[in-house]
Amino acid sequence: MEQIGIYKDGQIYDLQTVQELGIEGGEAIKSDGSAHSLEILRHSTAHMMAQAIKELYPEAKFFVGPVVKEGFYYDFKVDTPINDDDLKTIEKKMKDIASSKYPIEKYTATRDEIQSKFKDDELKQAVLSNITDDTLTIYKQGEFEDLCRGPHMPNTRMIRNFKLIRVAGAYLGGDEENEMITRIYGISFFERSELRDYITMHEEALKRDHRKLGTELKLFAFSDNIGAGLPLWLPAGARLRGKLEQLLYKAHRIRGYEPVRGPEILKADAWVKSGHYANYKENMYFTEVDGQEYGLKPMNCVGHIEVFREDQVSYRDLPMKFFEYGVVHRHELSGVMHGLFRVREFTQDDAHIFCTKEQTKDVIIEVLEFVESLMSHFNFTYEMEVSTKPKKAIGDDAFWETTTKGIMDALDENGYSYGIDEGGGAFYGPKIDIKILDAIGRKWQCGTIQVDMNLPERFDINYTTSEDTKEKPVMIHRAILGSFERFIGILTEHFAGEFPLSIAPTGVIIVPIADTHLDYAKQLQKELQEIEIDTEVSSKNESLNKRIRVAEKQKVPMILVVGDDEVANNMVALRDRRTREQSNITKDEFFTMIKQTQEKAKI
């Protein structure tokens, strides 16, 4: 391990800067894979990538190359389009640069000097326009130099274990109004073994990519004819989604929730009242109806408040729980949309629970039980995080203090452990975020539970107390999946497309060996449909092996093969997709098995 920098007063200094400024003391940063050391390594790898690109594409101009959560990227502009196939060539060039062991040198220059040095480079001019300093620093390795604050490794030889991940488009400076330039993402480690592990994990994630599986299994699609971020649910995907909706519907009803439904478009006045107009307007879509401004709902809260107002609510009615599969629209920048994970229209499994202050804790505990039940159904483990008051917030300090404490008490008293996200709350209240861990250990933000005493105040809704006085209820917003779109994306990757029977778009495929077995197959199909198992009969004019292969590729939970023996004895040959073995069981045994699985599939 070598020293590559110093960490002092919350800042990373590379060795070049330590020497330049004569910095003493602080904590040594060694090439040990710590967060600070990786920051130096990865930023240096980004520069080395830029150097390689410059050698391969001499016309290349560079914007910025920051370190991000997963590695680094560099934004740049070239005349010839670059695609994923070119990454190997760039990597090879980077390896040459590494073995040349160029020292990485730093020098300072005045703003004017830099302005003239890069006078034909509009991207550098754009970078410069965001900096006010008069003296700037340049890092130089071999022939390549770049305007940069650092930090950097001492030489290119120390950058050995890297991989370029993908090419993407990016708006210059992240602004949609600007031109689209090229971005390459990469990763870099000190140890070869760490890079190997990363690549293995990355390949597994690619195999599970829900966009790829979504196309292969014909679950959903996106079309330019419709618009970006607006998913189309194909028949198989719509069946899967429908099953998830039904499972969840029953789970809500058992827990005393009432289904309600509000409109998708509401008067802008309602959004003024809710605070969304002042705090969330840039993410909403507006239109005009009969000369009045209307907004497409980004949340379902207002509709549910109006439902609450429809009744004379007494303390005896509380807690009152309304749920809705609420379709909402939120404007996401086109650069951040990603399959089903980030879309502009989605459906929340949204509920609002109105209760007394005293009931708040019990209501939260009950919601946590719901979360537990749902997560264990899909074999997810999960973590929780409490988010506190953000900078942009409404409501007084007393409200934030008591509600935040209430949430933490509910978690503490029930033995839940949780993290804290300081300042991460919604603008109207603190919240619990639910983060699930999938089959390959990735973390996903899903549902939230938010406590809100502000909206009932703003909309002036009340219930009658036992003393016949009026009191404002507490409103708890909660979604467990978060949205059907995102959750189904996560489920697809978690199960690698091999969905359990409870939600699989097709539960059973029956493959008759010959036409003479078709009637028996169809009879089986009918009986399975009757118990709500979506079943297909594979009767195309193709060889038996081909039809079995096609069924296996569809990743259905169960494949049944039926021939002479099965028809004669009222049996089925159940095929295991993974081991490719068949077991012969009676039809009754098969149906008992299905029903037992269905019985267990409760949330």
Binding site for Zn ion (CB under 5 A): 148, 299, 301, 477
CA distances from 477 to 129, 364, 412, 414 (A): 43, 10, 20, 20
Q: How far is the CB of 602 from Zn ion (least distance, A)?
A: 26
Catalytic-residue membership of 36: no
The Cα 349–Cα 355 span in angstroms is: 19
366 by DSSP, 3-state: which? helix
Catalytic-residue membership of 587: no
- Please give the torsion angle defined by the CA atoms of residues 532, 534, 539 and 544, in that order, rounded to the nearest 10 degrees: -110
The Cα 368–Cα 363 span in angstroms is: 9
The Cα 285–Cα 300 span in angstroms is: 15
Angle between helices 397-413 and 360-377 (to 10 degrees): 50
The 3-class secondary structure across 88-150, one letter per residue, is HHHHHHHHHHHHCCCECEEEEEEHHHHHHHCCCCHHHHHHHHCCCCCEEEEEEECCEEEECCC
Give me the helices (H) in 416-543, please. 454-458, 484-494, 518-530
The Cα 265–Cα 326 span in angstroms is: 12
Cα 466 to chain centroid distance, Å, stands at 45
Query: Which segments of 198-243 are extended strands (E)?
Result: 220-221, 232-233
Q: Which residue, 241 or 477, is less far from Zn ion as judged by CB?
A: 477
Q: Which residue, 350 or 493, is less far from Zn ion as judged by CB?
A: 350
The Cα 171–Cα 435 span in angstroms is: 30
Task: Exactly one of 14, 75, 86, 350 is catalytic; name it.
Answer: 350
Q: How far is the CB of 450 from Zn ion (least distance, A)?
A: 7
Q: How far is the CB of 151 from Zn ion (least distance, A)?
A: 9
Residue nearest Zn ion by beta-carbon distance: 148
Task: Exactly one of 297, 477, 486, 517 is catalytic; name it.
Answer: 477
Catalytic-residue membership of 442: no
Q: How far is the CB of 595 from Zn ion (least distance, A)?
A: 38
Catalytic-residue membership of 330: yes
Q: How far is the CB of 150 from Zn ion (least distance, A)?
A: 7
Q: Are 4 and 29 in contact (CB under 8 A)?
A: yes
Task: Exactly one of 163, 330, 494, 575 is catalytic; name it.
Answer: 330
The Cα 164–Cα 451 span in angstroms is: 43
Question: Which of 106, 100, 144, 103 minimizes the C-alpha distance to 20?
Answer: 106
Catalytic-residue membership of 101: no
Q: How far is the CB of 576 from Zn ion (least distance, A)?
A: 45
Q: Which residue, 210 or 477, is less far from Zn ion as judged by CB?
A: 477
Q: How far is the CB of 475 from Zn ion (least distance, A)?
A: 8
Catalytic-residue membership of 11: no
Q: Which residue, 88 or 392, is less far from Zn ion as judged by CB?
A: 392
The Cα 20–Cα 248 span in angstroms is: 62
Q: Are 97 and 214 in contact (CB under 8 A)?
A: no
The edge-to-edge listing of strands for the beta sheet with 105-110 is 105-110, 135-141, 144-147
Q: Which residue, 42 or 93, is less far from Zn ion as judged by CB?
A: 42
Amino acid at 552: E
Element (H, E) at 591: helix 587-600
Q: Are 456 and 304 in contact (CB under 8 A)?
A: no
Q: Residue 76 pairs with which residues in a beta bridge?
A: 62, 182
Q: How far is the CB of 551 from Zn ion (least distance, A)?
A: 43
Pair of tokens at residue 231 = 């998913």
The Cα 25–Cα 2 span in angstroms is: 17
The Cα 307–Cα 449 span in angstroms is: 20
Q: How far is the CB of 146 from Zn ion (least distance, A)?
A: 6
Amino acid at 369: E
Q: Which residue, 344 or 477, is less far from Zn ion as judged by CB?
A: 477
Task: Exactly one of 431, 494, 517, 547 is catalytic; name it.
Answer: 431
Q: How far is the CB of 455 from Zn ion (least distance, A)?
A: 8
Cα 515 to chain centroid distance, Å, stands at 46
Buried b (16+ CB within 10 A) or exposed e, 139-150: bbbbebbbbbeb
Looking only at the bridges linking them, the beta strands covering 470-471 and 463-464 are antiparallel
Catalytic-residue membership of 431: yes
Q: How far is the CB of 376 from Zn ion (least distance, A)?
A: 25
Q: Which residue, 219 or 368, is less far from Zn ion as judged by CB?
A: 368
Task: Exactly one of 93, 239, 276, 301 is catalytic; name it.
Answer: 301
The Cα 442–Cα 489 span in angstroms is: 13
Report, as residue numbers or ranges, the catalytic residues.
301, 330, 348, 350, 352, 431, 477
